[in-house]
Amino acid sequence: MNRIQVIKRTKLFLEIAEKFPDFRYLGDSILRKKTKPATIKEGIKIGKRLVSILIEYRKTTGIGRGLAAPQINIPKSVFVTYLDNEVQIYINPKIISKSKKLNYFRELCLSCGTMWADIKRPDTISMQWKDKTGKTQIREFSGFVARLIQHEYDHLLGISNLDEAEAKTIEFVTSDPLQEKLRPA
């Protein structure tokens, strides 16, 4: 572990904690509770707030691809993703199937501060949710997108990525999270 990298990451974490007072971190009880369903109106409002915070977070840190309502102290079943310069709001999502094929990725979480770990997840999932118009969507996701969806969905169930960590892989973030790649399980 590089001491200088740990110090830099810790300073960034302190800056984030000051700039984003609504964020909740591991140890906060809201991150351990299952969320309640949201009405479409609530979901849209929460989704827009999540998008706004996530975009500001990305401007500050250069990272961040998803954010779930419990991470900003809202116990509702809503999360957002930011991929390829597009945001998506997921209201009351439900994963309906998972592949047997698995992969590994060293996951970072905005609620875990300076820690990450290797997490094994299904390579492909199918999910149902309501979109920002209230329309039911069902779609299959694979690869990195499936992983991101599962990570955010877990927040709605009160599960942290570090809960799912492979043994002895939790560590300080000491390299660029954007350089991480999926690995076969």
Q: What is the pLDDT of residues 118-150, one digit of tens each?
A: 999 999 999 999 999 999 999 999 999 999 999
140-166: average pLDDT: 98
Q: Which residues are annotated as a binding site?
A: 109, 151, 155
Q: What class has domain 3-184?
A: alpha beta
The pair of structure tokens assigned to 44 is 């849209």
Q: Which element (helix H / strand E) includes 101?
A: none
Encode pLDDT of 97-114 as tens digits. 999 999 999 999 999 988
pLDDT category at 3 given cuts 50, 70, 90 is confident
**71, 89 in Cβ contact below 8 A?**
no
The verdict on whether 18 is a catalytic residue reads no
* Ramachandran region, residue 120 (left: φ > 0; alpha: ψ -120 to 50; beta: rest): beta
Burial code (b: 16+ CB inside 10 Å, e: under 16) for 57-66 equals: beeeeeebbb
Indicate the range of 5-19, 23-37, 80-94 predicted with least confidence: 5-19
Residues 6+ apart with CB under 8 A from 44: 89, 91, 132
CA distance 132 to 42: 10
Parse the chain into domains and list their residue ranges.
3-184
Taking the CB of residue 100, how many other CB atoms lie within 10 A of it?
7
Q: Which residues are annotated as a binding site for Fe cation?
A: 109, 151, 155
The catalytic position among 18, 42, 152, 166 is 152
DSSP designation for 175: S
Q: Rounded distance, CA 185 to CA 183, Å? A: 6
Q: CB within 8 A of 18, min separation 6: which ones?
A: none
